[in-house]
Amino acid sequence: MTSSTHLKTRGRATAELEGGYRRMMLPAVFAVGLFAIIPLAGMLALSFSDYHLLRGTNWEFGLKNFVRLASDKRLMNSVYAMAILSFFGVATQVLIGAAIAVGLSKIVGRWRLGRVLFLLPYAVPHVAVALIWLSLFTPTLSPINAFFDIFGITVPSFLTTKNGALFAIVMADTWTNFPFTMLIILAALQGISPDLEEAAALDGATRVKTFFYITLPLLIPAFLMVTLFRFIDSLKHFPMIFVMTKGGPGRSTQATNYYAYIQTFQNSNVAYGAAIAVTLFVVAAFISFYVAKLNQRVTS
Amino acid sequence: MKKFLSTLFSATVLAGVVSTSSVVNAADELNVVMFGMPYTKGLAALADDFEAKTGIKANIDVIGQDVFENRITLSFTGKSGDIDVVHTPVIQVQRWVSAGWLKPITAEVDAMAVKSDIMAGPLDAYKINGEQWAVPYMAATGLMTYRKDILEEAGVEVPQTWEDMLSVAAKIHNDDTAAIAMRAVPGQGFNMFIFPMVMRAYGGKFFEDYTGGDLTPAINSPETLEALNVYMKLLNDYGPQGAGNFNFAEVQAAAQNGQIAFAVEGTGIAASLVDPEKSKFADKTGITLPPAGPAGRSPAIAVHGLGIPASAKNPELSAKFIEWAVSTETMTKIALAQPFSNFTTQPVAQNEEVVAKYSKVHPDFLTVQAEALNLAIGHYRPLLPEWPALGQAIGENINAALNGLSSPEEALEAAEQEMRDILGN
């Protein structure tokens, strides 16, 4: 009897506590609803509509925009550009970020403050980053070209070739975003107990072996997380392209997000632009879900 | 349901705006949104003048052109009414009018005393379906600058035609100083502001008969192909390294650093190249009309003006602001304070100080500019609501050919096909 009363009281207390927690979540739910769900729902509605800035709308809803997506060569071109920019951009950012993080984690004493220097590129606004790299890659303005000119070496013009322009954007993107990957990996490195490395050393493991068999496996969740964050962000390529190439040469650097912008704002085709954006969102959500699952499996 | 959806659409479009200031207007306050140019900067600096004269406070927001286009599209589609006067480029006005974004202001403009002082051509450019939609403040045109010393040394004359330009360029081009640079990045305001000067000189055209109303795309013609070959040869063989990705800023910098002999550019950039305060080569630089072709000379033209959004809450105040902004007095002040010579309020050109200022920049400047404006055709770039889309598509194909991603023939064929797709015929 006593124990059942006790259980009941405890149940009520838990319920009350949970109710309290739920109420505490209300502002967050409201904010997410207002700033994420409603615009998303609107975008979804738009993507099925025929809304055009010039022609208005006949209130016809259907799959027309999505059917068009499947046969749109310019979209395929943009997906290719985006895939190249995302793959090489994220891969370089993670590798460089990890390498610098490992280096910095070994630094002790007052030199540790030097870390701040590596964070600086992350603080520069993207348009400014794009302008810096635009001038570095413009042969008539670039100090790099001027330097090699002294020795009679002509540095090729990157922004006028397809692969060169993609490379230039990857460079700019890497420069401004590697501090983010570095920071996360550095934090993960510092979370690894030094006892593990000491134990390995006592067992006679070399430093290289310790790194590959102890440190690296423990960093995998951090790697997965930064890759995911950077990947999602890389689908939103815009300022670098807008400032450095305007999507050129031709349409070589017109990544999907930039193409959606052209459809919406230049071609006034809001519904089709929304369909592109929705598709991008679905792809990003699908990949995020998959990576999150993978992360769960790794950590458990 | 429809109302809900329409609100939702607007809300969605608006959700994209991060920086839209939703200033609630006081009765005697105006929000003016413009993008950065000498005139707009000059006007922003005179906001206090307007307040002193009328008691109305004007919040003049001068933003980047890219941000501007998104900002106003979002404000207009959302009908937020947060803009009272808007910078209206003539190249956009058809699109805005067909989208119902602007308020017709025929009666307001007729009532303005300054109306008779405004150049008729630019004013007419804002007349659509018998209504006036904006008032011009400037008309920029295309000009060519050349390095006198380089031409003298090579013993050649200033080229009068694009053919002459090819042979002169072959003579003067070298590793230190390239012959010529022009805008090349894709976009209706970038390569498609400059390339039509070559295209039209060779008799190329966008449509079968634009003035007669036959809008069948006709860019894939032997004339345009010849022009494209000339444009490509000039930039690829006689342009600076990387010319295929130049925009106006790179052209300007190359000329200011003495890296090119010729620049074919808009008035603003051309003026800066002959201004001793802006370029160390100014005293060696001459200015003239862009070259001619078999079909004559066709300098570019870009008219800018001020309009009133359909959603503006107090159009009377907006009209008052526009009248002040294009008045001879305000224009003269800006022409003196800024590098602003392409005003469309004519009496400004009679002001002695203004004449003295621009003669000092270059003695021929004002006359060459007037001559170019005289030659320019109003529909240099077609005045159609679909132009931004057409210009973007054509510009991308021209740029692809220039950078060797397609042949010029393929580029023009693709451009014409895309024009048909956009226009739906």
pLDDT in tens, B140-199: 899 999 999 999 999 999 999 999 999 999 999 998 899 999 999 999 989 999 999 999
Task: Kindly tell me the sign of the dihedral angle through the C-alpha atoms of B401, B404, B406, B409.
Answer: positive
Cβ distance B396 to A252 less than 8 Å, yes or no, reads: no
Q: Per the domain annotation, does A163 fall within a domain?
A: yes
Residue B14 lies in a domain: no
What is d(CA A178, CA A93) in angstroms, rounded to the nearest whole number? 5
Cβ within 8 Å, pair A45-B69? no
A87 in the same domain as A216: yes
**B196, B398 in Cβ contact below 8 A?**
no
Domain boundary among B349, B371, B393: B371
Same-domain check for residues B72 and B153: no
Tokens of A136: 């570095």
Nearest-CB residue to B253 (from A49, A137, A141):
A141
Does residue A1 register a pLDDT over 80?
no
Contact: A246, B403; criterion CB under 8 Å: no
Cα–Cα distance measured from residue B425 to residue A23, given in angstroms and rounded to the nearest whole number: 58
What's the pLDDT score for residue B19?
35
Contact A267 B241 (CB under 8 A): no
Q: Find the range with the poorest average confidence among A157-166, A280-289, B26-35, B212-221.
A: B26-35
Kindly state whether residues B205 and B312 are assigned to the same domain.
Answer: no
Segments forming the whole domain that contains residue B231: 140-300+378-423
> What is the CATH number for A281?
1.10.3720.10
B114-142 pLDDT per residue, tens: 999 998 888 888 988 889 999 999 998 99
**Structure-token pair, residue B99:** 């989208």
Q: Domain for residue B262, yes or no? A: yes
Chain A residue closest in CA terms to B421 = A267
Distance, CA of B254 to chain centre: 21
pLDDT of residue A4: 57
Is B12 among the domain residues? no
The span from the CA of B5 to the CA of B11, in Å, is 9
Count of domains in chain A?
A: 2
Q: What is the mean pLDDT of residues A189-200?
A: 85
Q: Per the domain annotation, does A226 fall within a domain?
A: yes
B288 and B316 part of one domain = no
Contact call for B12 and A249, based on CB within 8 A = no
Same domain, A230 and A289: yes
Q: Shortest CB distance from A242 goes to which of B66, B241, B254?
A: B66
Q: Could you tell me which chain A residue has the CA closest to the CA of B9?
A: A42
Whether the per-residue pLDDT at B8 is higher than 60: the answer is no
Which chain A positions have a beta carbon within 8 Å of B396's beta carbon? 247-248, 250-251, 254
Asked if residue B317 is part of any domain, the answer here is yes
Q: What is the CATH number of the domain that holds B407?
A: 3.40.190.10
Reading the block at residue B393, the tokens are 């598509």
**B263 and B387 co-located in one domain:** yes
Contact A161 B397 (CB under 8 A): no
- Same domain for B292 and B339? no
| Residues in A touching B245 (Cβ below 8 Å) | 138, 157, 159-160, 165, 245, 248-249
Do B172 and B295 lie in one domain? The reply is yes
With an 8 Å Cβ cutoff, are B250 and A141 in contact?
yes
How many residue pairs bridge chain A and chain B with CB atoms within 8 Å of each other? 128
- pLDDT of B24: 42
| pLDDT, average across residues A53-77 | 87
Which among A38, A48, A53, A252 is the top mutation candidate for probing chain B, defined by the most B β-carbons within 10 Å of its own β-carbon? A53
Pair (A38, A127) in one structural domain = no
Q: What 8-state DSSP symbol labels residue A226?
A: H
Cα separation of B281 and B263, whole Å? 13
CB A104 within 8 A of CB A115: yes
Contact B188, B382 (CB under 8 A): no
Q: Which range among A141-150, B19-28, B41-50, B64-73 shows the weakest confidence by mean pLDDT? A: B19-28
Pair A179, A271 in one domain: yes
End-to-end CA distance of chain B: give it in Å, rounded: 33
As a whole number, mean pLDDT of residues B301-329 equals 94
What is the pLDDT, as a whole number, of residue B317? 92
Burial state string for B227-252 with b = 16 or more CB within 10 A and e = fewer than 16: bbebbbbbbeebbbbbbbbbbbebbb
- Domain hosting A93: range is 67-299
What average pLDDT does this structure show over A242-259? 94
Pick the range with the lowest mean pLDDT from B213-222, B382-391, B407-416: B382-391
Answer yes or no: is the ipTM higher than 0.90. no
Is B10's pLDDT higher than 60?
no
Residue B8 lies in a domain: no
Indicate if A2 and A117 belong to the same structural domain: no
pLDDT for residue A166: 96
The DSSP bridge pattern shows strands B29-35 and B57-63 to be: parallel
**pLDDT surpassing 50 at residue B13:** no
Contact A250/B399, CB-based, under 8 Å? yes
Residue B296 DSSP one-character state: B
Q: Are residues B265 and B308 in the same domain?
A: no
Nearest one of B304, B308, B327, B306 to B317, comparing CA atoms: B308
In this structure, is residue A59 part of a structural domain?
no
State whether B231 and B154 are in the same domain.
yes
Is the separation of the CB atoms in B171 and A232 below 8 Å?
no
pLDDT digit string, tens, across residues B273-311: 888 888 889 899 999 999 999 999 999 999 999 999 999
> A105 with A7, same domain?
no
- Average pLDDT of the segment spanning B68-84: 86
Tell me the CB-side half-sphere exposure of residue B232, using CA atoms within 13 A: 20
In this prediction, residue B325 carries a pLDDT of 95
Same structural domain, A127 and A174? yes
Same domain? For B290 and B350 the reply is no
pLDDT band at B424 (very low <50, low <70, confident <90, very high): confident
Nearest CA in chain A to B418: A74
Q: Flag whether A144 is in a domain.
A: yes
The answer as to whether A197 is a domain residue is yes
Q: Is residue A126 domain-shared with residue A227, that is, in the same domain?
A: yes
Domain count, chain B: 2
| pLDDT, tens digit (0-9, with 9 covering 90-100), for A202-241 | 888 888 888 888 888 888 889 998 999 999 899 988 999 9
User: What distance in Å separates the CA atoms of residue A237 and residue A243, rounded to the nearest whole number?
Assistant: 11
B342-374 pLDDT, tens digit per residue, is 899 989 988 999 988 888 777 888 888 888 888
* Nearest-Cα residue of chain B relative to residue A61: B5
Counting Cβ atoms within 10 Å, is residue A227 exposed (0-12), middle (13-18) or buried (19+)? middle
Structural domain includes residue A125: yes
Clarify whether residues A172 and A287 are in a common domain. Answer: yes
Q: Are B192 and B335 in a shared domain?
A: no
In a domain, A162, yes or no: yes
Instruction: Provide the 3-class DSSP secondary structure of residue B127.
Output: strand
What mean pLDDT is predicted for residues B18-47? 75
Contact A252, A169 (CB under 8 A): no
The answer to whether the Cβ–Cβ distance between B250 and A266 falls below 8 Å is no
State the nearest Cα–Cα gap between B28 and chain A, in angstroms. Answer: 32
Distances (CA, A) of A194 to A171, A199, A207: 35, 9, 13
B354 and B243 together in one domain:
no
Of A80, A75, A72, A85, give the one whose Cα is nearest residue A244: A85
What is the torsional sign of CA B252, B258, B263, B266?
positive
Residues A4 and A115 in one domain: no
Q: A40-54, A121-135, B9-23, B228-242: which has the minimum mean pLDDT?
A: B9-23
Q: Which helix (H) or strand (E) holds B22?
A: none
Task: Determine the pLDDT at residue A32.
Answer: 84
Q: What is the mean pLDDT of residues B78-83?
A: 86
Q: What is the mean pLDDT of chain A?
A: 88
Is residue A162 located within the same domain as residue A270? yes
Residue A80 lies in a domain: yes
Q: What pLDDT, on the 0 to 100 scale, is given for residue B20?
A: 36
| Residue with tokens 């951009």, as numbered in its chain | A89
Q: List residues of chain A with CB under 8 Å from any CB of chain B.
A: 35, 38-39, 41-43, 45-46, 49, 51, 53-54, 59, 137-141, 145, 154, 157, 159-162, 165, 242, 245-252, 254, 262, 265-268, 270, 274
Say if residue B215 is in the same domain as residue B340: no
For B128, the token pair is: 């659509």
The mean pLDDT value for B391-400 works out to: 96
pLDDT of residue B276: 82
Q: Which of B190, B244, B385 sits opposite A54 (nearest CB)?
A: B385
Residue B346 forms part of a structural domain: yes
What pLDDT score does B213 carry? Answer: 86
Please report whether residue B171 resides in a domain: yes
Q: Which tops the pLDDT comparison, A70 or B20?
A: A70
Are residues A182 and A94 part of one domain?
yes
